[in-house]
């Protein structure tokens, strides 16, 4: 994939910011959409989006039918910063697909028994059987960022994971699994705006966890952890694709295009699928250049 994505994504100085603030500070509100060097200054047109997502979801159903007919197995890993839009993007993938054969996996923290197992074991049990599609809402990559940043694993455990993950993924691919790794990145101000909005909305409070509250002031630590993750796990066999996700509508379209454009399924409308927007989509190595 072309490198794409330009600009920097430096953290602002918001040490005193709290999600309990009654009003979102004007500097965060005004900078949010274009934060992190986002290349657009306005949202994707809603009418155009509705038409485009409808077209791409029809293509997804073609992909699903091909998967069932051929016995293919597809795994799509979604990682990214807190409030980057992973859940909403996954929902658009699954909106019209049969839930028995296309499903999301969002594992909670490991049980005591799971903590005594091989780290990848509980993820292996969630892999698809013939004809199924599985989307991971966070994945084994918890050990690359969330766990080390929050002290849930040791440095040695993180180091071992980063060494073993590429081998684990090569095993999946050699066994015939189509593996996609998609990372959603947002600017610092956009992340703060979204986290604050969740905290203010009683219908979205469930989305917030103690980890999210801590993330408000952990931007540099996460940036370092993600950069290290990309250096070690962005491989030729299983490359990362990064989407700048400040605009949720553009993000969802790009994510669908990433998957649809890389598989030659029956009945594919190549012209309609098109190619992801290289202003907001790039390869994993590019993340490192942004921080």
What angle (nearest 5°) sits at the alpha carbon of residue 273, between those of residues 271 and 277? 105
| Sheet containing 73-80, strands listed edge to edge, beginning at the edge strand earlier in sequence | 102-105, 133-137, 73-80, 177-185, 240-244, 281-283
pLDDT per residue as tens digits for the range 151-207: 999 999 999 999 999 999 999 999 999 999 999 999 999 999 999 999 998 888 888
Domain of residue 84 covers: 46-289
Q: Is residue 203 domain-resident? A: yes
Which 8-state DSSP code applies to residue 198? H
Domain count, the chain: 1
Domain CATH for 230 = 3.40.50.300
Give me the percent of the chain exceeding a pLDDT of 90.
Answer: 84
For 67-115, write each residue's pLDDT tens digit: 999 999 999 999 999 999 999 999 999 999 999 999 999 999 999 999 9
At 22-47, the pLDDT tens digits run 999 999 999 999 999 999 999 999 99
What ranges in the chain are assigned the alpha helix state H?
Answer: 26-31, 46-70, 86-94, 112-115, 121-124, 146-150, 155-174, 188-200, 210-215, 219-233, 248-261, 270-273, 285-289
Tell whether 126 is covered by a domain: yes
> Is this model's pTM higher than 0.85 or not?
yes
Q: Which residues contact 30 (CB under 8 A, 6 or more apart)?
A: none
pLDDT value at position 215? 83
Pairing of the two strands 240-244 and 281-283: antiparallel
Does some domain include residue 21? no
| Mean pLDDT score, 11-22 | 82
Q: Does a structural domain hold residue 143?
A: yes
165, 140 Cβ separation under 8 angstroms: yes
Residue of 249, 268, 248 lying closest to 259 (CA atoms): 268
Q: Residue 24 falls within a domain, yes or no? A: no
pLDDT tens column, 226-267: 999 999 999 999 999 999 999 999 999 999 999 999 999 999
């Amino acid at each position: 994939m072309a490198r794409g994505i330009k600009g920097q994504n430096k953290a602002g100085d918001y040490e005193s910011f709290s999600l309990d603030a009654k009003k979102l500070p004007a500097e965060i509100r005004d900078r949010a959409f274009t934060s992190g060097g986002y290349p657009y200054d306005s949202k994707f047109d809603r009418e155009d989006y509705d038409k485009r997502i409808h077209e791409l979801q029809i293509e997804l159903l073609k992909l699903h039918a091909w998967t069932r007919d051929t016995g293919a197995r597809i795994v799509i890993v979604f990682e990214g910063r807190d409030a980057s839009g992973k859940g909403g993007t996954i929902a658009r993938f699954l909106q019209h697909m049969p839930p028995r054969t296309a499903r999301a996996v969002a594992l909670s923290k490991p049980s005591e028994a799971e903590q005594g197992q091989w780290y990848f074991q509980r993820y292996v049990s969630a892999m698809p059987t013939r004809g199924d599609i599985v989307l991971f809402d966070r994945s084994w990559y918890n050990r690359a960022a969330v766990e080390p940043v929050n002290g849930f694993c040791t440095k040695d455990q993180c180091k071992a994971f980063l060494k073993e993950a590429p081998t684990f993924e090569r095993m999946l691919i050699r066994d015939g699994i189509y593996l996609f790794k998609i990372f959603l990145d947002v600017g610092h101000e956009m992340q703060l705006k979204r986290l604050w909005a969740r905290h203010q909305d009683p219908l979205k409070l469930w989305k917030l966890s103690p980890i999210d509250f801590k993330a408000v002031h952990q931007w540099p630590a996460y940036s370092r952890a993600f950069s290290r993750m990309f250096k070690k796990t962005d491989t030729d066999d299983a490359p990362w694709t990064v989407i700048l996700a400040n605009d949720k509508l553009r993000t969802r379209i790009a994510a669908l295009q990433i998957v649809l454009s890389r598989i030659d399924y029956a009945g594919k409308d190549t012209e309609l699928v098109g190619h992801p927007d290289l202003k907001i989509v790039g390869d994993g190595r590019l993340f490192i250049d942004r921080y």
